[in-house]
Amino acid sequence: MVVKVYGPMCGCAKRVMVCLTEKEVEFETIPVDVFKGKHKDPEYLKLQYFDAESRAIMRYYSEKYRSQGVELLGKTIEERGIVEQWLEVEAQNFHSHAYNLAIHLLFAKPFGITQDLKLIEESEAKLEKVLNIYEERLSKNKYLAGDFFSLADMSHLPFTEYIVNTEKVYLIRDRKHVSAWWNNISNRPSWKKVVEMDKAPI
């Protein structure tokens, strides 16, 4: 079965695509043009209630295809517990600040949003604090959940990629262990493939 990934080439869709790639699951993308408001179509909304369910989709495919591709949930219940802890950290402590920076530094113009300089400043300061904790964590472990790559790392790929494409790249580059971690995970063939797909004309 070929999995259909609906959505624009946004961070959420990329999160699912890199997961399917690591799990060696074939997929096709069905573009949804957000600039034309297609993500509000009743037909599209039937497919999902909210637009923040990419982590649930990643968990589902990682479990369904547990026996193939890269193990992304950890090998034991204890390892999965730590993967879930850092997935939660990404969703609750990292994402909203990274999202604000991406939207206001990269996408304000195409989306017709007024750039909010105060929000950029606040998000940057909050992300600094979060990344200081990451720096400490990654000084002891190669990956967030331990010495194995997992959904916890993967979930950071789309929005960290946005950040390193802005003037705020220093947030990643100036932290030795965060920077090494980013170089490591962003050079995985799965993520390179997703980045290439993003560059391709639809």
By CB under 8 A, name the binding residues for its own copies: 48-50, 52-53, 55-57, 59-60, 63-64, 77, 80-81, 84-85, 87-89, 91-93, 133, 137
CB closer to its own copies out of 134 and 149: 134
61 or 149, CB closer to its own copies?
61
Determine the angle formed by the axes of helices 11-22 and 189-199, rounding to 10 degrees: 140
User: Least distance to its own copies from the beta carbon of 93, Å?
Assistant: 5
- Nearest-angstrom CA–CA distance, 84 and 90: 10
- Among 105, 160, 121, smallest CA distance to 138 is for 160
**Nearest distance from C-beta of residue 130 to its own copies, angstroms:** 8
Please report how close the Cβ of residue 74 comes to its own copies at its closest, in angstroms.
Answer: 11
Smallest distance, Å, CB 46 to its own copies? 11
Q: Give, to the nearest 10 degrees, the angle between helix 95-102 and helix 117-140.
A: 130
Say if CB 8 and CB 39 are below 8 A apart: yes
